[in-house]
Chains A and B, each alone.
Chain A
Amino acid sequence: MSTAATSLDLEKRFPGVTPRDSADCPAFNVPTADIVRVLTALRDDFGYDMLVDIAGIDWGESASPRFAVAYHVLSTEKAAYVRLVAPCSGDAEPSIPSVAGVYPAADWHEREAYDMFGIRFEGHPDLRRILMWEGYPYHPLRKDFPLAGIETDLPDDEVAGETGVRVKPAPMAGGPFVAPQAGHMTSREPRARDESWNEKSEKPAD
């Protein structure tokens, strides 16, 4: 880890870049505006030719900047990874420059992060939802989105009109063995959070 990190002089070339705690590969915090330049430098000057992953992160409703994007790039020659994490500007409507022009692989990964977190990638050629349907009103991987889901309309108006079916939240608040991330030990035990509604009995009207 240390040898690879020293050969990467990203901090010197980009004053805003700082090293980031990491258990495995070299990792850096990158300012929002620099992400395209840093990734271009990694690709052209350091041989990190493959973008393997882009992950959106929601640091919680109270955090600011609330959203961040983590990039993992791989050098196919050296088989070494580098992780970059860039915060998104704007907490209500997060946005960050798109890197689809640097790595074509970013196209779908950024669409996914947009779909799941609502992060707008400025300059993306075709920013549409990818896993959820077009017109879905929420961003499911945000921390304020409940595990069970939120009641909403079916994507197809025709089917919805014909059948009257709506997208319903999952029973038992998302599953029989839900373990929350924080709280007292007694409440962290994996168990159903809301058993008033299950497959056999209808959801009680609020």
Chain B
Amino acid sequence: MSTEYTFPDNAARSAAAADAPEFETEKLTINMGPSHPSTHGVLRLLLELDGETVTRCDPVIGYLHRGDEKIAENMTYNQFVPYTDRLDYLSPLANNVAYAIAVERLAHLEVPPRCQAIRALICEMARISSHLLGLGVYAMDTGAMTVFLYTFTEREKLYTLFEELTGARFTTSYTRIGGLARDIPEGWLGRVARFCDGVLPVVDEIDALLTRNRIFLDRTEGIGVISKEDAIAWGLTGPNLRASGVPLDLRKDKPYCGYENYEFDVPVGTKGDCYDRYLVRLEEIRQSVRIIRQIIANMPDGPWYAEDAKKIFAPPTDKILTSMEELIQNFMLVTEGPQMPAGEVYFEAENPKGALGFYIISRGGGVPYRLKIRAPSFCSLSILPKVAVGCMVADLSAILGSLDFVMGECDR
């Protein structure tokens, strides 16, 4: 081992430094997630950073993949309803309704007006619940804790109403093919109306806390801009699409559940940045309240399930226990499933997160041959590699919060 020490040649070193660029930079690859607070679930972003600027973003999804489409091929249509709860688990009622309508379209089955009104009502309640959570966590991700506490207080009231209606707070499984699990309880509509009266002041309060808030504006205005063309090209739907200035709302443009009978406005953004997506969601809560009030005022009487669809909807329990025909009908439904004609159908519903689509291929019988779920969150996330590039790392949490995705639906 040499003990000689060579003194550094300072002249040569400074000459070498002069040749080199001012800073030696190296790109850094890091993982954001899979369990990062702002990814709202198990999403992993593989980021390539130049300093604090994102130069490449590769979302890694599939951590919540449960094979729902495979499962659907191995069970009857009604058996799959609980699985739809677990798609967008922040608005299970809206998923239940979208799935039920898709299967009913396949069977060319029209449900009675009361059933449609109840479905539209619960869809709008699910929208309020989903947007309250979406806005709350979005605000928290951008540094405003209070909004989260306000929205969760209101959301809790909604979940109490859901529990009263369906027996469950989260996994509601409320629809059946051709109807609902049960009619609405006594006095429940009045409690929904009271909730609506209570939620509007809270929305105004969120408005007052965030809309002109300097910090919130700095963190969201001009951040994560998605142009109209990009939003369409990447298949964004729902509030994310409308924030980019495309006034497409399937409730207006392709009405289902009797939405054509209700008056409401479709809020549309102008720039497509994170701030616009916040504004659109906030206004949608107000519009949902408007729809709910109209539904409550005009709630039709009559049957709440398709009574003539004997091969699709199970008869009421008292009839099953007392009448032979209904007993056989129930037995056939449980063993064989609701009977569908052969054919294929694609139905999209305007869910809180965007257009939730079901593509069903049937070869007849009670089990689908193929059921494809078109998840809005999947499409919302697919634009991330484009939007995230050029952003700062800190902007990512604002972008993720504003896209309002749910991994249960994205991964299925």
Contact = CB atoms under 8 A, between A and B. Distances in A.
A197 interface: no
Nearest to A77: B248
Given A53-B372, A105-B382, A179-B76, A185 B346 contact: no
Interface stretch (A3-11, A18-26, A30-38): A18-26
B359 interface: yes
Interface in A167-182: 174-175, 177-182
A51 B335 contact: no
Contact of A181 (B69, B73, B357, B386): B73
A27 B253 CA distance: 20
A140 B379 CA distance: 21
Nearest to A181: B367
A133 interface: yes
A27 B237 CA distance: 22
Interface string B336-374: 110000011111100000010101010101110110101
A83 B337 CA distance: 27
B344 A23 contact: yes
Interface in A153-206: 174-175, 177-182, 185, 188-190
A179 B235 contact: no
Interface in A25-50: 25, 27, 49-50
A12 to B, nearest CB: 24
Most chain A beta-carbon contacts within 10 A, residue among B108, B246, B359, B412: B359
A9 B318 CA distance: 54
A205 B361 CA distance: 37
B245 to A, nearest CB: 11
A81 B248 CA distance: 13
Interface stretch (B59-67, B202-210, B259-267, B292-300): B59-67
Interface in A93-132: 103-105, 107-108, 112, 116, 129-132
B345 A24 contact: yes
Contacts of A25: 346
Contacts, number: 136
A152 interface: no
Contact of B79 (A27, A58, A133, A190): A190
Interface residues of A, number: 48
B346 A132 contact: no
A150 interface: no
A76 B75 CA distance: 34
A79 B343 CA distance: 22
Given A79-B253, A180-B74, A131 B379 contact: no
A113 B361 CA distance: 16
A57 interface: yes
Nearest to B361: A57
Given A49-B232, A81-B346, A141-B70, A188 B366 contact: yes
Nearest to B237: A52
A72 interface: yes
Contacts of A147: 70-71, 73-74
Given A22-B344, A23-B105, A52-B237, 8 more contacts: A55-B372, A58-B370, A76-B248, A129-B62, A181-B367, A182-B365, A185-B336, A190-B334
> Would you list the 7 A-B pairs with minimal beta carbon distance, nearest first?
A105-B235, A79-B253, A55-B372, A131-B62, A108-B382, A53-B374, A131-B65
15 contacts: A24-B346, A55-B370, A76-B246, A79-B253, A103-B235, A104-B233, A104-B234, A104-B386, A108-B382, A131-B412, A132-B62, A145-B70, A179-B366, A185-B336, A188-B366
